[in-house]
Amino acid sequence: MEKRRKIFEVKHLQKYYFTQQKQQLKAVDDVSFDIYEGETLGIVGESGCGKTTCGKTCLGMVDKTGGEVLFLGKDVHAMNRKEHFEFTKKVQMVFQDPYASLDPHQKVYQIIAEGIQIHKIAKNKKEEEKLVFELLEMVGLNVEHAARNVHEFSGGQRQRIGIARALSVNPEFLFCDEPISALDVSIQAQIINLLMKLQKERNLTMLFIAHDLSIVKHISDRIGVMYLGKMVELTRSDMLYANPKHPYTQALLSAIPIADPDESKKKEKVMLAGDVPSPLNPPKGCRFAGRCQHCMEICKTADPNMVEVEEGHFVACHLY
Ligand code: SF4
């Protein structure tokens, strides 16, 4: 894994906001990770943990407060216009809510063709049409859908249109920001399977944000777990499920329901004490300290650093 080309290098990234009362909110606080060519990195955490802000800051959609984000070696937050235009072709996004992210009165054709036109991908109108129709078929829709308005489609179909739009410029990288959380449970697996198929076929690199570990399990090669603006664990997907190290990851995994009642009884549940503290006033030391059943004195004063506990398995916890 480590020898593969790094698409993104995220180093000590910080994104702070100030509230109207001038309070500082550390949405992303000293987060570092790399994303390698052809892999899907899942980032998981409860709402408010900073995962979407982290993704958006990596894409330059919001300014950073500190740290660095490199895309193929170039600083995302210091690109000139030409570099940024190229970046918007190579990096595309699938949004959380397909109802809000697509204009309901636009024709599907227009939506998918827009990127092709902006980036002059087709030589002529005929080639543009061919590309749009191929994209529709690639995402499980058909040619007849091109002439319809977005409001005629279901949530799952709209998300397929959103995926076709993202792929229209032939990107290298796809940022999927909770792309299934607004969809019916019955549709979620279809969209995940579609994204996995497209990722393989087109050798895409993906960052996949989700609030639930069960969702990212199948799609991710590696998973990062975030808690209150911090990355607390990062490792291969199989390692995380087989041997979670951070007490927060252990609690998240133990909360995933198991269909088999016998297996479910055998599973040890890790109960979390208290609620997620306010990000405006996070605890000193380890941010998880107030909810952790292993909390020690040092945890209340010293913020744990990320350490590699086995090859490719990083944890920020004083237990290691
Ligand atoms: Fe728990 Fe301490 Fe580890 Fe934080 S650093 S997760 S409080 S054991």
pLDDT of residue 47: 86
290 lines ligand 1 (CB under 6 A): no
pLDDT above 90 covers a percentage of the chain that reads 80
112 lines ligand 1 (CB under 6 A): no
pLDDT of residue 267: 65
pLDDT of residue 21: 84
Cα 238 to ligand 1 centre (Å): 23
289 lines ligand 1 (CB under 6 A): yes
Q: Which of 284, 299, 303 to mutate to test the pocket of ligand 1 (most atoms within 8 A of CB)?
A: 299
313 lines ligand 1 (CB under 6 A): no
Local confidence band at 210 (pLDDT 50, 70, 90 cut-offs):
very high
Position of tokens 């909110």?
25
Using one digit for the tens of pLDDT, what is the confidence trace for 74-119?
999 999 999 999 999 999 999 999 889 999 999 999 999 999 999 9
Local confidence band at 31 (pLDDT 50, 70, 90 cut-offs):
very high
H or E stretch covering 67 = strand 66-71
Using one digit for the tens of pLDDT, what is the confidence trace for 159-174?
999 999 999 999 999 9
pLDDT of residue 20: 84
Model pTM above 0.85:
yes
pLDDT of residue 217: 86
pLDDT at position 266 over 80: no
285 lines ligand 1 (CB under 6 A): no
Closest CA to 180 of 35, 7, 42, 33: 42
Q: Cα–Cα distance between 165 and 60 in angstroms, integer?
A: 20
Q: Which residues, 6 or more positions from 308, have their beta carbon under 8 angstroms from its beta carbon?
A: 314
DSSP labels for 234-300?
A: EEEHHHHHHS--SHHHHHHHHTS--SSHHHHHHSPP-PPPS-PPPTTSPPSS-TTGGG-TT--GGGG
pLDDT above 70 covers a percentage of the chain that reads 95
